[in-house]
Amino acid sequence: GAMRHLPYFCRGEVVKGFGRGSKELGIPTANFSEQVVESFPSDISTGIYYGWACVGNGDVHKMVLSIGWNPFYKNIKKSVETHIIHTFKEDFYGEILSIVITGYIRPEKNFDSLDALISAIQEDIEEAKRQLDLPEHLELKEDNFFHLPEGKTVNNH
């Protein structure tokens, strides 16, 4: 369920999330719309993944991504949220986010405290940074998917 679909390429608009305060924790997550989430393979595992991300025609950055259960839909639908490992000057709601998911870190977990949650995410980020420097993941940073203009994506993506 987790690795079988990787690498997974996806592009879509950044929408408002559930205001769970990710930004206040210092870990903003750019949410994809329900339609984009619906286009994911239905059997892809929930959990924490990593890969590459690019906003509009901007630079390609490392990212960690969570595929989780969407509280708005009583946890019957998934949500997909990308934390880009980069400091942006401004929010980018409404812009097109392009991602390639290249690897899987762990399943979803519940945490006893906010501190435990934050340190788990920080470990996920460090793990993502290390993994993405390996040649098999690094090569996807240069994929044409990130550099072709809208509407001109290559056939197999």
Site track 61-90 with Mg ion (rule: CB under 5 A), x = hit: --------------------x---------
Is the preceding peptide bond at 71 cis, omega within 30 degrees of 0?
no
Give whichever of 38 and 91 is closer to Mg ion, judged by the CB atom: 91
Return the residue of 2, 7, 12, 17 that touches Mg ion, per CB under 5 A: 17
Q: Least CB distance from residue 22 to ligand ADP, whole Å?
A: 3
Residue that is written with structure tokens 């793990």 in the block:
127
Question: Is 38 annotated as catalytic?
Answer: no
29: contact with ligand ADP by CB under 6 A? yes
Please name the residues in contact with 4: beta carbons below 8 A apart, sequence gap of 6 or more: none
Q: Which residue in the shown chain puts its C-beta closest to ligand ADP?
A: 17
CA 12 to chain centre: 11
Q: Tell me how far apart the alpha carbons of residues 87 and 69 are, in angstroms, rounded to a whole number.
A: 27
